[in-house]
């Protein structure tokens, strides 16, 4: 699994940072805690500059267009 890092801004919580930067929700928090051992010990609000490891963003899927036939 490819990983990337995010850096916490002043007042960030783990879930807020993950949502803002990657669109990750509550269901992703256990994975974030597993990727960042000891991060819970920092408290609810992350210290400024805390580096957080997250799964790499998935490549966007190619949009599929419906085919419209004018004559059958």
Report pLDDT digits (tens) over 11-70.
999 999 999 999 999 999 999 999 999 999 999 999 999 999 998 876 565 677 777 888
4 forms beta bridges with 54
pLDDT score of 61:
59
Instruction: With H, G, I as helix, E, B as strand and everything else as coil, classify residue 16.
Output: helix
Here the tokens at position 1 are 């699994």
Give residue 37's domain range: 3-55
Whether 7 is covered by a domain: the verdict is yes
pLDDT score of 58:
64
Whether 39 is covered by a domain: the verdict is yes
- CA torsion sign for 46, 51, 55, 56 is positive
pTM: 0.74
Whether 37 is covered by a domain: the verdict is yes
In total, how many domains does the chain have? 1
């Amino acid at each position: 699994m490819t990983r990337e890092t995010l850096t916490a801004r002043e007042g960030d919580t783990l879930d807020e940072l993950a949502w803002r930067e990657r669109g990750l929700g509550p269901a992703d928090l256990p994975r974030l805690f597993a990727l960042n051992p000891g991060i819970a010990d920092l408290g609810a609000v992350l210290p400024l500059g805390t580096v957080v490891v997250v799964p790499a963003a998935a490549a966007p899927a190619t949009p599929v267009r419906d085919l419209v036939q004018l004559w059958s």
